[in-house]
A and B are shown apart, each in its own frame.
Chain A
Amino acid sequence: MELKKNFVFYQLSKKLFFTLILSVFLIPNTYSQTGQELFKKCASCHHPVVDKVGPALKGALQRWKDAGEEELIYEWIQNPSKLYNSGKSKRAKEVWDYDPSVMNAQALSKDEIKLVLEYVDSYEDVAPADSASMGDEVAYEKPDDSVSFWWWVFAGVLIIVLFATMGVRRELNSALEEKSGIEVDTKRTFLTSAHEWAIRNWFVMVLLIISVAIFSGVELMGRGFQVGVYQDYMPSQPIAYSHKLHAGQMEIDCKYCHNSAEKSKHAGIPSVNVCMNCHNQIHEGAQYGTQEISKIHTAAGYDKSSKTYNLDEYGQRIENPIVWNKAHNLPDHVFFSHAQHVHPNTANIDCRQCHGHVETYTLGRVSTIDEVNAFADTDEGKERKIIKLTKPLLTMGWCIECHNEKEVDLTRPGYYEEIHNRLKKKPSLHNMIYEDEKVTPKELGGWECAKCHY
């Protein structure tokens, strides 16, 4: 009995022991990181199935196996130049001579490299990664004028038919009258009969004339207020660029591309090298395929097969600049500086206060004041709060309305700090400005003519 119990115990412990041993072998992945996590180190230059700076890695192990140098791939990844210089690997020479852009020595152990290569070979291409379904539709539509034109032609034909039938009717009437023996007034035309009708119904005519006068007056005034208002202006552009995709989905800040907004009068239209920061990798979009992005490559002088730029003798890229069409135009007699309005040490205004929610539409466009107001007071923080205004965008009424209502934070370093210090020296002026506990640009001279017109 005792013996049997011991035996069972022995068997059990033996099983347990072997399971333990086995488990060690069955789970070779005892490293803290998996292949996928480790691959992040490679991901800035490599992709499993897309050629980036480095080649696509899927099947790399197989290629080295085919060359009969399976073991050397680990040395190659750990230190490519060392293996190349040692001259013991044909495959290394082959790869090196094909593209001598050097990969740095990687601090990975052989087992870690195995994990990475396993991960890469098991990589399933979910979607075609290069054309990566980049956002949804990029609306690039223009209203069709031809339809409305043909409607006008149709209306014209109808009017002619109308007059023709009326003429025929009158002729028939007079023919009938002639037949029944009534004397026909031969001078009686359409206009004379209309005139007679008008005299008989003079009250209706007066009403008609008054309503037409009021109507046209209102219309004229409305038109008058549209003069010099550029709301809704959305000029067509040489490339179907989408703010919705770049600024909306990818959350790229406005100032990444329009990077002179904080330093200069102009917000700046990005030169093509800024596009190439990403589009040296992204060659294909979801909406237009390579059609639109290849225009960037042409402009940058970039050859995507050889991954080289067209350079002059000094190493400067020879570019063929993209001529973008400017949407926000101010007349020459107005001075406006982005730096004064955008930089955090100056007015520190959110771009959306004047440009609307650009991340929701595709091409650059002058927003309407209603669109801006729809998002007013929703943004967090007092400083960059979007305030509600009434006048149309980019008009002088709108400028001075904002200068009257926007609050200025005098605690910011630099310009406003200096103004604050000077104000403190003049208590009467200081008290006058702080009477309503709010400092506006108007109180600091924002309504002076020569502030913007000189």
Chain B
Amino acid sequence: MKNFYVTYSTLFLFILGLVFGFSSCTKHPDSPGYEYSDDMTRSQAIEAYVDYGLVADKTIDSLKTKISARTPPIGTISFKEDKTLAEVHMPFNYSPTDSGRTRAGNEYAIPTYYTNNESIVNEGKRLYGIFCSHCHAKDGKGNGPVNDVTKGVIACPDLTDTTTEIKSSGAIFHVITHGKGIMGPHASQLNKDERWKLVEYIRTDLKKLPIENPINNNHIDAQQSVDNNTVSMPNNENINTN
């Protein structure tokens, strides 16, 4: 008699379990799903974009969700083994003001390393497609898709217009680094090497500026060209560390 109870209630529970199992077939989007074992799944060390409170199979509430992606500190210089690139990545000592831009336009010029090189222009064009074309448009005329969607709140100048005050590679470099008007500083997204490639593309293909007197920028005395207000300005002169 007792056996009956055991057999049938087991069968019943089994079917009930199956039904409940099926109910969870629709996965909640907030749940990442099943995991076989969390052994070697969580890092024992601190890694990027991992919650500091959940490192090494421990939960530390005081560290949880405190630290996340932040703007790189002012004056970050990325390390380069290559001597030429290391020189390129030296600090750019022009303040994010109009006077700074004017001075950069007059004094600062594209290093000879970047001029007269077809592959650099092509690389600059590729970077332009990533970082500029949604606002300035693929042809540089200044009516990219962002202008259309925002109905002119984000409006961009025509980069092929040669009558503007941006007439030299140094000035273009300053605008990319510190921004101008409504354009924000793009220094945290592009390192100096990439910025010069972009400048070379804009200079040759869009603005069609003549080749300037090549200046080796590193011979400019850094102390001479530091503005008094460089430090106190909000925009960041920073480079991705990579």
Separation in Å of the A229 CB from the closest CB of chain B?
6
- Name the residue among B15, B29, B163, B185 with the largest chain A CB count within 10 angstroms: B29
* Residues in chain A near residue B22, CB distance under 8 A: 219
* Residues in chain A near residue B4, CB distance under 8 A: 191-192, 195
Complex Cα–Cα for A135 and B130 (A): 21
> Quick one: which of A133, A226, A274, A365 contacts B34, CB cutoff 8 A?
A226
Q: Answer yes or no: B174 CB below 8 A from chain A CBs.
A: no
**Contact present for A135 and B149 (CB under 8 Å):** yes
Complex Cα–Cα for A234 and B32 (A): 8
* Residues in chain A near residue B26, CB distance under 8 A: 143
Q: Answer yes or no: B184 CB below 8 A from chain A CBs.
A: yes
* Residues in chain A near residue B161, CB distance under 8 A: 41
Complex Cα–Cα for A127 and B164 (A): 30
User: What secondary structure prevails in chain B residues at the interface with A?
Assistant: loop
Complex Cα–Cα for A432 and B29 (A): 46
* Residues in chain B near residue A227, CB distance under 8 A: 33-36
The stretch that binds A, out of B67-75, B109-117, B206-214, is B67-75
Complex Cα–Cα for A250 and B148 (A): 8
* Residues in chain A near residue B157, CB distance under 8 A: 40-41, 43-44
- Name the residue among B23, B36, B70 with the largest chain A CB count within 10 angstroms: B70
Separation in Å of the B176 CB from the closest CB of chain A?
12
Interface string of A256-286 (1 = CB under 8 A from B): 1001100111101111111011101110000
Interface string of B178-215 (1 = CB under 8 A from A): 01111111101110000000000000000000000000
Q: Answer yes or no: B58 CB below 8 A from chain A CBs.
A: no
Interface string of B30-44 (1 = CB under 8 A from A): 111111100011111
**Contact present for B70 and A271 (CB under 8 Å):** yes
**Contact present for A132 and B153 (CB under 8 Å):** yes
Closest to B230 in A: A315
> Quick one: which of A107, A319, A331, A344 contacts B126, CB cutoff 8 A?
A344
| Number of A-B pairs, beta carbon distance below 8 Å | 223
> Quick one: which of A142, A332, A344 contacts B42, CB cutoff 8 A?
A332
> Quick one: which of B126, B153, B231 contacts A52, CB cutoff 8 A?
B153
Interface string of A335-368 (1 = CB under 8 A from B): 0000000001000000000000000000001000
**Contact present for B151 and A104 (CB under 8 Å):** no
Complex Cα–Cα for A107 and B161 (A): 13
* Residues in chain B near residue A252, CB distance under 8 A: 134, 146
The stretch that binds A, out of B83-91, B219-227, B234-242, is B234-242
Complex Cα–Cα for A53 and B180 (A): 10
Separation in Å of the A355 CB from the closest CB of chain B?
16
Q: Answer yes or no: B18 CB below 8 A from chain A CBs.
A: yes
Residues facing A in B125-184 (CB within 8 A) are 126, 129-131, 133-134, 142, 144-146, 149-158, 161, 163-165, 179-184
**Contact present for A142 and B29 (CB under 8 Å):** yes
Separation in Å of the B158 CB from the closest CB of chain A?
7
* Residues in chain B near residue A249, CB distance under 8 A: 145, 149
Instruction: Pick the 8 closest A-B CB pairs, nearest first.
Output: A277-B184, A43-B155, A321-B68, A234-B29, A263-B242, A333-B40, A331-B41, A44-B181
Seen from chain A, the residues whose Cβ lies within 8 Å of a Cβ on chain B are: 40-41, 43-45, 47, 50, 52-53, 102, 104, 107, 126-127, 129-130, 132-135, 142-143, 145, 148, 152, 191-192, 194-195, 212, 215-216, 219, 223, 226-236, 245, 249-253, 255-256, 259-260, 263-266, 268-274, 276-278, 280-282, 308-309, 311, 314-317, 319, 321-324, 326, 329, 331-333, 344, 365
- Ordered by A's residue number, 11 sampled pairs between the chains whose C-beta atoms are within 8 Å are A132-B153, A194-B8, A235-B29, A245-B149, A259-B189, A265-B48, A273-B185, A277-B186, A281-B150, A326-B49, A344-B126
Seen from chain B, the residues whose Cβ lies within 8 Å of a Cβ on chain A are: 1, 4-5, 8, 14-15, 18, 21-23, 26-36, 40-44, 47-51, 65, 67-74, 98, 126, 129-131, 133-134, 142, 144-146, 149-158, 161, 163-165, 179-186, 188-190, 231-234, 236, 240, 242
